[in-house]
């Protein structure tokens, strides 16, 4: 693995941006995969491919697994397994951009779970940042219509649940797996959930039949392979490293940038983005700044002292 100095603030923000681009693109990849396969097949293949790619990291570290299998299993289930299925099912009824927007709730859940269960200290400006970013995300959601969103509420709630799962996984990694290398965390957590998911995929679904007989279905396999290898295996290793080297809240704030990327893909797909939408995206970025910087606190303290 390349030795990257994550203690450098510039490196942290560049990494955050790259993760946002990667995961912001994952929704359109899921959308493309769903043109050929069921949501269960999309999620199961994504996990199976990631597990396979990560075997060179997981197999040599089975001794680490034997000592930490419980938190690794929780991290695997809540950080990858459950959300993969929830997002795929949700995108059968809601736009991929809406999935990306609702995914921004991850930081809110990360902070809330950290405060409630891990006694994480917080500043007023972190709460302000969460509120600001949440307002920005909700503003973007409003560009469907409130009536339409109500119709999609059942499936949108699946994304909210998935975001809560991410919040659990981020805190588990930060506070129970802090002494394990990120590649080990990622690969071993997938090793725990991947085999049963692969058995399910290849023994109980029509994935192989569809891939071999449906016209152009190999394009779906291609999109999902990118999603599994880059968007899941590689990106999760980098994300886990970011959690360990920074804070759980900073790492999870990548989800505030994901809506921007998801909507940008919409432009390339022929959708229009208004200045009002850009303004809501700016509010999201302000929220990230408030969550992750002590500078606003020092500034306002000087004013109101």
Q: What is the structure's pLDDT at 46?
A: 94
**Residue keyed to tokens 């998935």:** 162
Of the chain, the percentage scoring pLDDT greater than 90 comes to 36
Please name which of 3, 153, 167, 146 lies closest in space to residue 74, comparing C-alpha atoms. 167
pLDDT in tens, 131-140: 887 787 777 6
CA atoms of 187 and 86, how far apart (whole Å): 21
Here the tokens at position 271 are 């959708």
**Other residues' Cβ atoms within 10 Å of the Cβ of residue 60:** 11
Is residue 187 within 8 Å of residue 55, measured between CB atoms? yes
Angle at 33 between CA 32 and CA 34, to 5 degrees: 90
Q: What is the structure's pLDDT at 300?
A: 44
Here the tokens at position 167 are 């919040």
Query: Nearest 10 degrees: CA dihedral of 294, 295, 297, 301?
Result: 140
CA atoms of 135 and 283, how far apart (whole Å): 8
Q: What is the structure's pLDDT at 118?
A: 83
CA atoms of 33 and 47, how far apart (whole Å): 14
Q: What is the structure's pLDDT at 299?
A: 45
Q: Which residues of the chain have pLDDT under 50?
A: 1, 297-305
pTM of the predicted model over 0.85: no
Q: What is the structure's pLDDT at 252?
A: 67
pLDDT in tens, 56-68: 999 999 999 988 9
Secondary structure letter of residue 79 according to DSSP: I
Q: How far is CA 10 from CA 1, 13, 15, 18, 63, in A?
A: 20, 5, 9, 12, 35
Transcribe 164-175 into DSSP letters.
Answer: HHHHHHHHHHHH
């Amino acid at each position: 693995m390349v030795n990257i100095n994550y203690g450098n603030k510039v490196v942290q923000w560049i990494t955050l941006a790259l993760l946002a681009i990667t995961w912001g693109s994952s929704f359109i990849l899921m959308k493309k995969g769903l043109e050929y396969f069921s949501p269960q097949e999309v999620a199961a293949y994504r996990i199976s491919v990631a597990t396979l790619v990560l075997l060179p990291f997981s197999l040599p570290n089975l001794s680490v697994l034997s000592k930490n299998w419980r938190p690794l299993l929780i991290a695997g289930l809540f950080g990858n397994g459950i959300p993969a299925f929830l997002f795929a099912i949700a995108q059968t009824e809601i736009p991929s951009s809406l999935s990306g927007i609702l995914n921004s709730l991850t930081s809110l859940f990360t902070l809330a779970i950290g405060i409630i269960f891990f006694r994480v200290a917080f500043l007023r400006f972190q709460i302000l940042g969460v509120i600001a970013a949440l307002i920005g995300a909700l503003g973007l959601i409003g560009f469907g219509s409130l009536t339409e969103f109500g119709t999609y509420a059942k499936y949108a709630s699946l994304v909210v649940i998935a975001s809560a799962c991410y919040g659990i996984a981020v805190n588990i990694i930060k506070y129970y797996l802090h002494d394990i290398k990120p590649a080990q965390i990622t690969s071993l957590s997938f090793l725990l959930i991947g085999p049963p998911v692969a058995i399910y995929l290849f023994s109980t679904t029509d994935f192989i039949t569809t891939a071999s007989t449906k016209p152009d279905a190999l394009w779906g396999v291609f999109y999902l392979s990118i999603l599994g290898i880059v968007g899941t295996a590689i990106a999760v290793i980098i994300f886990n490293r970011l959690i360990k080297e920074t804070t759980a809240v900073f790492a999870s704030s990548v989800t505030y940038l994901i809506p921007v990327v998801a909507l940008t893909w919409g432009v390339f797909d022929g959708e229009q983005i208004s200045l009002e939408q850009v303004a809501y995206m700016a509010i999201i970025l302000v929220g990230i700044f408030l969550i992750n910087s002590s500078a606003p606190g020092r500034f306002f303290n000087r004013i109101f002292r």
